Amino acid sequence: MSVTILLGSASSARAAILTRAGIPFTQLAADIDEAALVTDIPEPRVQAQALATAKAHAVANKLLHDPQPHEPTYIIAADSVFEFEGQAYGKPQRPEVATQRWRAQRGKTGMLHSGHTVVAVLGGRKQRILQETVSATVSFADVTDSVIDDYVATGEPLFVAGGFTLEGHGATMITGVDGDPNAVLGLSLRAVREMLDRLGVSMTALWIATE
């Protein structure tokens, strides 16, 4: 029986992770009000999971709104929140915010929380929902103001949780990661594999399907 893996995100980084892992998938972005959702959730780890779950449900609802029959579909959604000195930080959005955050976190360590939700859509309805949050510690180089200014000027840190990435320019400013590096990139393949296993979907069978 064929199945569809649907990435509930517009993230090119998460799509690249699935592509590198040899997992065939389609992509559908979720439309949620992230700021409103986390207003009353102070804990960064809980925020990350709440965002991932909301995205998964939003995409499932979009899918089920289409009256056309669908083969068994497994929606994978994820979202990340950076915790630094007990506070939650999402995407900086603006250059001045990214600069301020980097000047505070340089030479220090924070925690990146990535929430994951898988929703199984079977027989025209949501059947099972699995969740897991994966956290990793990230240590930053003690870079100068000019390096930070140059990094922010690239635009790369503006739309990623915590204002950093492990790929691209950001890789030059990270001294270490303790935990799942893919979770820091946005999607833990280990967590995805285990959740799909629990739903009866073999990742190795998905590999074979792409050959």
Catalogue the active-site residues.
Answer: 79
User: Which of 173, 97, 100, 178 is closest to 142 using CA atoms?
Assistant: 173
Kindly state the DSSP code that residue 177 receives in the 8-state scheme: E
Q: What angle do CA 27, 94, 166 make, to 5 degrees?
A: 55
Question: DSSP 3-state assignment of 119?
Answer: strand
CA gap 187, 5 in Å, rounded: 14
Residues 6 or more apart in contact with residue 47 via CB below 8 angstroms: 38, 41, 81, 88, 113, 115
CA gap 91, 93 in Å, rounded: 5
Q: Which two tokens stand for residue 85?
A: 């000195």
